[in-house]
Each structure stands twice: as structure tokens, then as C-alpha cells.
Structure 1
Amino acid sequence: MQTIRFGIIGCGLMGREFASAAARWLHLTESRARPEIVGVCDTNEALMGWFSTHLPNLKQTTTDFRELLANPDIDAIYCAVPHSLHADFYPQIVAAGKHLLGEKPFGMDAGQNATITKAIADHPGVLVRCSSEMPYFPGAQRVIEFVRSGAVGDILEVESAFLHSSDLNPDKKINWKRIASVNGDYGCMGDLGMHVCHVPLRLGWKPSSVHASLVNRVTDRPDDKGNMVPCDTWDNATITGSVEMPGGTFPLVLKTWRIAPGESNTWSLRVLGMKGSALFTTKSPRQWQYMHYEAGGAQAWQVEDLGYQSLFPAITGGIFEFGFADAIQQMWAAFIDELAGGDARGFPCATPAEAADHHAILNAALASGRTGQVQDVEYSQ
């Protein structure tokens, strides 16, 4: 089996998730290639200790990401750094000839995203994808298949949501995602927007205009020293887009909420149509719901238990439950399959073009939230 050697830039939560997924690659039964992590980088040297302890093939640790890029033994990079660094790091990664799976949102704003997009276009031999793991849940894939089959008919409404509850606590310490100078003016939309835009964009649902309701409910939070400091990012965003399709225009509702009472890390996708409807939520990770409708017939939701039916086959029995760590590994399997010459089994990771389109949506939503007016979405392509 082909081995693809990776470097990780950013040794926080998601860097560890990738390392865990790579360490249990034998979990997958049909893979063209396997990842091997040979180098890691973080400005906080203490974070690299976990990787040194758990990765026997790790050969390089550094606080300077350019040293990873200069390493000829590294084929690809996973980059998970604050949004303000994307426009600096990502172009340098692709210019060094390293394939890249980068964390969303691919730039702190639309201008920075344009810089990244140009750098990618200047290096067509490098594969670049954006992190977005939730659509790899089996139930999400069933909804996608349901739509692609034509079972929905003319669409009435689509809702895609990512809901957190942790920021409901006003005493929660501030971090970089709550500081506009590092996170960006998008606020919650920047960090969660790709999660809710990935499937709609993949299915061709690009809103021509949007109206957004933006909420900044907690304006101050304690820092590490207990001082109250400004929390100047949007907590919640509800975006309603207008999507024009041959069957008629329908609303696309995108929710990125950090204050959602009772929710933990809930991703959901609901598609309502004249012939059929479908729903998946990570609150019920082993199920999806669907409805087939005929004129004058019953309107009855059906619920199907899916168990472990992953896009890339695994050793886990089908009767067992699929989880977040599995979705992470499936996303990585899609990226590595493409690197090895495959088609990601028909569902590649989010593309740079989709990342650019989601920036166009968020940029219009930011303007709408500030003015209260409907805003046209200006796509770059």
C-alpha cells in the first residue's frame, strides 16, 4: 500500500484527531494509501510532546512551519491554525509543492480567501481541500443520495445547521475564536460556515441573495487572568438565502449558532420537497428519516437505523454506531484516496471553489446582518 507522508501545522485538538485517525488506519478495509505523520509544528512546544510520545515514526518537531515545508520527506500538510494565519500559511504550503488539507474557512475574509485561491491556481499540481467532516456520517450520505436520485422533486426548503451550546455560559473564558482580529468579522459564521455550506454547495444550491440575523449576546468574557475583555464576534447567525432552481425558487436556511441551549455539537440537514423529504441530525447518529409522497397519499415519515455503513468500508460491524471520530477518518480517507488517484468514492472533501463560494455567502450575510437589508451574493466564478 502506498504511504503518504504528512506534516501537521497546529498541534491542537484537530491535529490530535488527525493523528488518531492515522494511527488506526487499519480500521479501513479498502484504502489505496495510508498516511504517516513524520513531522509536526506548533509555536507552543509543549503541545508537540503528545505527538512525540504517541507517533513512533515522527522524525521532525519544529516551531517554524517553514522547516516542515523545506523537508523533502513530507508529501502533504494538514494545517489547523487560527483564521488570521491562513492567507500567510496556505499560499506558502502550496508554493512548496505540498498537498494541503486546510482547516476552514480558508482565510479570515473574502479578500484573504482570494489570495489563497490565486495561490492554488498558480500551482495546479498540488491537491488542496478544505476540512469538513460532518457530511461523512452515513445518515448525511443517505440524504445526499436521496436528493441526487431525484426523490425530492421540487424543493420547498432546505435547512443546514450547526449548533453549539458552550457559549451559553457567560463565564466561559475567551479564546481566539471570540476575538475578531484573529477569528475575523464573520464571527461564528467563519468557524462553522463551511459545515453548513458544504452539502448545499455540493448539490448546486447557491443562493443568489441572503438575509441574515446576527446576534452578539455576550459582549464581554473573562480572560486567563479573570479580567473582562471585549468579546466582539457574532455568537449566532441565521442566514436565509434565496436559491433559484428550474422547479422554482426556494429558501436555504443556514444556522451557525454558538449559543443554542441544550445542544452540544449538533449538525443537521433537512430537505423538504413536493415528492419527498429527508432529514439527518447527529443527535440521532445511527438513523435518518425520509418521506415519499404521492398526490393524495399519506404524509408519513419513515425512520431507518443505518448503523455503521461508511463511505469507505471499515472493520466495524454494520449493527454498530458511527461517531465523530469515524467521520474524521472518513474525511481523511476521501482526501488520501484522491491523492492516490481515486475519486473519493464520489464525495471528495470540500474544494477550494466551494470554500470561495461559502466566503461569498458569508460576506453577503455579514453585510446583511449589519444593514438589515437583503444582499446579493457576489460569487467570484
Structure 2
Amino acid sequence: MLPDGSTEHMLRLFSILEFMKQKMRLGIIGGGLMGREAASAFGRWFVLENFPVQAELVAVCDLQDKLLEWFKQVPTVKLLTKDHQELLRSPDVDVVYVAVPHNLHEKLYLDVLNSGKDLLAEKPFGIDLNASKTIHEAVRKSGRFVRCSSEFPFLPGAQRAMQYVHSGKIGRIMEIRSGFWHASDMDPNKAVNWKRQNKTNGEIGVMGDLGMHVVHVPFRMGWKPLRVYAQLQKVYTQRPDGKGGMAPCDTWDNAMLHTEVLINNEEVPMRLEMKRLAPGEMNTWFIEVLGTEGGVRFSTKDPKTLWIFERGKEQIWQKIDLGYQMPFQTITGGIFEVGFPDCFLQMWAAYAAERAGELGTRFGCATPEEAVLSHELFAAALESHTQKKVVSLARA
């Protein structure tokens, strides 16, 4: 039995500790699919165990009334507006998450930085290489804390795969594959949207939509392409416009980038795959690394499974059943499964922890430098496909 007054004392101590946590007050520009996903993540913030930062969504900007109406159910939101400058003027906002079409990235990201706010930017960090460089230079001059969105590396399987590579058990790395496949465009009668047109998505097409997901882990492992040979596909060049007619689709649907990277002074092939038209796939992110002594493979198609290869007299692939081992501890039991909302929350936790100086050795969000590097690769891929040749990257 606790001494008299001890319960009250513990509650008071808990309140003090909560008060001492750094607060991160957030605003969202773009209340669509990812903006609402972010609101959900902040609403579940309390599942993070002993986390040093409190997150609170306080403001939302979108041009559509029906989306602003959705955010009225979030009790912490104080400001709903159609004017992003009004949100940026708010003294209650510390960090802004911007989830809008790629052609709007440059202006809105610069506006956020000029307002003195920190930023979590959506990929691809600008519609093209020039835009990404402009944003990066503004980040450097502003001194603000900025990262780029990429969720899938925070899944347990991806984390374990990286740990296995770092262990050295693979031996001499012989081959790397990283990719993101889905079949959202397999239906030719699916109506056109902004991701299917160069003016809003960018000429890099599917690489801008899915590319950061594919390169985040390789870049963080130090695997940066020396050169690239690209195979790009446009499968459906028009789609219904939703008004009874047809609209042009001029973006690339699928991209296969064949690259070489330097590992321990040896060139190693690395294939990067981004596909909107992948028959039989729903939303599949994967990483595979093969070496002389072993290998590792993880795919979200089988999210509870990590495959480990060991070379011996017999070559064996072993299956490891994964539980809920996330980079940032939660109240969820280790035997349970993970899903997209979980890795999205972990991405935000990584952002908040790094911003507060509490990331430690854990995996962090994509950096502005990595975002620019991805654009350099995608620009080289466009040149490669157009000229049907291997293109070296500038740093090679």
C-alpha cells in the first residue's frame, strides 16, 4: 500500500514531467489523403512510450470546404483556413507539414521557411531538380529544421534488413534491389488526376511519386549511384477526364533504373524499380541485398516476414516471423502486426525526435540533401532514356 498522499505526489510528478516535454505544435497545408493521415498520427501520439516531445495539430489549410469540415472533429485544431499565409502567420504553429501537388512545392516550402517555421516536406521536394536545389538553398540559409517524407523504412522488416547488412554477415555485397510497385493505374478507365500530368507532377513522372521511397534506404546506407541506365514506360497516354471526355496522361508510368554504386572500392549493381502499373501488386515496397556469404530480403507483400540467406554446403533461405519491433517504443505488444498508420507515426516520431536532438542512433527521415540527390538521379534517368545511353552522375 502506498503512503498517504503518495498517489497525489505521483500525479503531480507526472504532470511536471509532461510539462517539461518539448511541445511541437503543427499546421497542415493540404488536407487531402496524407494531411488526414497526419492528423490521425497526431491523434495517436500517446501510444509512443516515454517520448520526449508532445505533438499537437493546431491549424489546417485547404481550399476545399469538405476537407476543412473533416478537420473540425479534431479537438486541438484552432484554425481552419483557405489562406496558407494566415496559417503561417499564426504564432501557435511551430512546424508545418505540406502535402500538395509537386508543382506547388517550391512556392509553399519557401513560404514556410520565410515565415520562420520548421517543415516536413512531401516528396519529391520540388517538381524538378532546379526546384529542389532552390528549396535546399533556402533551407541552408534559413537554418530551419527540414526533412522529407518517406515512411516505409520505419517498418520492422526494413529496419532489420538494414541491421543485417550492417552486421557484415552478407560478406562482399554483390547485388542490391530496391523498389515500390503498385497497380493503382492498371484500370485504363480510372479518371486522370494531377499525378498523371507533367504540368503538376513533373516530367520525372512515377519517379517523383514513388522514387524517394525507393532510394531512401540505399542513400542512407551510403549507396549513391555513379551512373544510370533508365528504362521508362508510358502505358496509358490518356484517361477519362471525369467530364465525359478524355485527358492526356504524359507522365512516365513505370521506371527501371539500372545503376552502379561504390562499396568498399568495388562497383556493385543496384536496380531501382518504381511502377504504377505492376500486375498483381497492391502497394508493395521491397529491399533485397545479396552477398557472397549471405543475403536479406523484405517486402511489404509479406509484412511479417524477413528472409535471411546463409551460404553453406547447402544454400538456405530462412524465414523470420516479425512482430511489432518499431524504432520508437509504443504501448503495442511485440506479438502484434504493423501497418501503414504505424510506420507513418514512426516517421513523425523520428522527425520530432531529431528536431529535439533526441534521435540518437535511430533511423531518421530523408534529408534535403538526399532529396536533391534523388532529383539528380531522376534527371540523369530522363537523359539516359531519351538518349538511350548510360549517364554518369556529376559526383562520379
TM bracket (short chain): over 0.9
> Which structure 2 residue ranges, 5 or more long, are not aligned?
1-20
Matched with 2:338 is 322
Matched with 1:156 is 174
Query: For this pair of structures, how many residues does the alignment match?
Result: 376
Determine helix, strand or coil for the equivalent of 1:167.
coil
Matched with 1:207 is 225
Matched with 1:16 is 36
Residues 216-238 of structure 1, C-alpha deviations (whole Å, 9 max, x = no match): 01001001202111100000000
How far the C-alpha of 1:293 sits from its partner, in A, is 2.5
Matched with 1:119 is 138
Contact persistence 2:28–2:61 (CA under 8 A) = yes
Residues 237-283 of structure 1, C-alpha deviations (whole Å, 9 max, x = no match): 00011112225211111111000011000000000111220000001
Distance 1:270 1:74 in 2: 40
Determine helix, strand or coil for the equivalent of 1:213.
strand
Q: TM-score, normalised by structure 1?
A: 0.96
Contact persistence 1:30–1:312 (CA under 8 A) = no
Distance 1:293 1:273 in 2: 9
Amino acid in structure 2 at the alignment position of 1:10:
G
Distance 1:331 1:345, change over 3 A: farther
Matched with 2:13 is none
* Structure 2 residue 360 is matched with structure 1 residue 341: no
Residues 125-173 of structure 1, C-alpha deviations (whole Å, 9 max, x = no match): x110000000000000000111112222211111111001121110000
2:92 corresponds to which of 60, 68, 73: 73
* Structure 2 residue 63 is matched with structure 1 residue 43: yes
Contact persistence 1:162–1:268 (CA under 8 A) = yes
Distance 1:17 1:151 in 2: 37
Contact persistence 1:77–1:99 (CA under 8 A) = yes
Distance 2:121 2:326 in 1: 23
1:308 corresponds to which of 324, 328, 342: 324
How far the C-alpha of 1:348 sits from its partner, in A, is 0.8
Matched with 2:14 is none
* Structure 2 residue 107 is matched with structure 1 residue 88: yes
* Structure 2 residue 389 is matched with structure 1 residue 373: yes
How far the C-alpha of 1:91 sits from its partner, in A, is 1.5
Residues 275-326 of structure 1, C-alpha deviations (whole Å, 9 max, x = no match): 22000000111111112325xx321011111111111111111111011110
Matched with 2:3 is none
Q: TM-score, normalised by structure 2?
A: 0.93
Contact persistence 1:335–1:344 (CA under 8 A) = no
Contact persistence 2:289–2:295 (CA under 8 A) = yes
Matched with 2:54 is 34
How far the C-alpha of 1:344 sits from its partner, in A, is 5.6
Matched with 1:106 is 125
Amino acid in structure 1 at the alignment position of 2:210:
L
Distance 2:269 2:68 in 1: 45
Contact persistence 2:327–2:362 (CA under 8 A) = no
> Which structure 1 residue ranges, 5 or more long, are not aligned?
none
How far the C-alpha of 1:345 sits from its partner, in A, is 4.5
Q: CA RMSD in A?
A: 1.2
Structure ID, larger Rg: 2
Give percent identity, aligned residues only.
Answer: 48
Residues 332-366 of structure 1, C-alpha deviations (whole Å, 9 max, x = no match): 00001112221265211000011011111111011
Residues 94-135 of structure 1, C-alpha deviations (whole Å, 9 max, x = no match): 1211111110000100000111011001012x1100000000
1:237 corresponds to which of 238, 244, 255: 255
Determine helix, strand or coil for the equivalent of 1:122.
helix
